[in-house]
Amino acid sequence: MYVPDAVIRPRLEILAKAPVPTRVGLFEMMVFHWGGHDTASGLSPDHVALIMGDVRGKSSVLVRVHSECLTSEVFGSLKCDCREQLEAAQAEIARRGQGVLIYLRQEGRGIGLPNKIRAYDLQSRGHDTVDANRLLGLPDDARDYGGAAAVLEHLGVASIALMTNNPLKVQAMRDLGLEVERAPAVVEANPFSAGYLEAKRLRMGHSLPPFSISRTAPAGEPLRAPVDEG
């Protein structure tokens, strides 16, 4: 039986690019497709890369590979640190004048928005982020970083400093052929996200300092992680 080549080797498609001014500086925004299709719409999602400076042939380029979080980034949910991670990465790239922020449309660690909200409901009943996914019969993390690796190859980046606390993301990018060093991406917690961050630290192996979830901060005040002595 004939199998189209694109099924065997996903193809990177650059759909559009243009300079985009942001609050922290001017980036080139590149919209791209990668690989398969969304089962609901039949369309491949539009992913985004924000590029600042000349990265071709450069080593230790600061890179953030960020997965979409509609709940926090658009609606201001306090249940996670995604918005803070995104904004901190964009600001740090702008401060250095060079780097790449890759925004992948894989909501809820790849399980999709409806399942993410179902998991939120289970979390409201006392389950942590890992057990909520498992109770729904879903993997702890279903993300695919192939598109990010393809974009970095397209940009000609020699090696990257990956902004992440997730050792599995570092290994996944190495497995895709990139030379990777890790750059920490610790942000402040709030009373609603501290438990989530603790679950990621204790159950998913993220490189995070412990967060106290026993006290309640005044409204709007973040919980600060103690200094990591190790």
* DSSP character string of 85-105: HHHHHHHHHHHHT-EEEEEE-
Query: H-helix or E-strand containing 53?
Result: none
Return the pLDDT at 43. Answer: 55
Return the pLDDT at 215. Answer: 41
Return the pLDDT at 5. Answer: 43
**Beta strand 180-183 pairing with 160-163:** parallel
Return the pLDDT at 188. Answer: 83
Torsion of CA 49, 52, 56, 59, to 10 degrees: -100
Active-site residue, from 64, 83, 118, 143: 143
Per-residue confidence of the chain (230 residues) as pLDDT tens digits? 333 444 445 789 999 999 999 999 999 999 999 875 454 444 568 999 999 999 999 999 999 999 999 999 999 999 888 999 999 999 999 999 999 999 999 998 889 899 999 989 998 888 888 888 899 999 888 899 999 999 999 999 999 999 998 898 999 999 999 999 999 887 888 888 777 777 778 776 676 767 655 444 444 444 344 333 22
Return the pLDDT at 52. Answer: 98
Question: Measured between alpha carbons, how far is 156 from 180 in angstroms, rounded to an integer?
Answer: 14
Q: State the greatest distance between any 2 C-alpha atoms of the chain, in Å, as a whole number.
A: 64
Catalytic: 144?
no
What domains lie within the chain, and their CATH numbers?
5-106+144-190 (3.40.50.10990)
Cα 114 → chain centroid: 18
Catalytic: 141?
yes
Q: What angle do CA 64, 25, 20 make, to 5 degrees?
A: 85
Active-site residue, from 64, 81, 109, 141: 141
Closest CA to 85 of 166, 198, 147: 166
Return the pLDDT at 163. Answer: 94
Pick left, alpha or beta for residue 213 (phi over 0 → left; psi -120 to 50 → alpha; otherwise beta). alpha
Q: What angle do CA 18, 109, 184 make, to 5 degrees?
A: 75
Do residues 128 and 199 lie in contact, with contact meaning Cβ atoms separated by under 8 Å? yes
Return the pLDDT at 133. Answer: 87
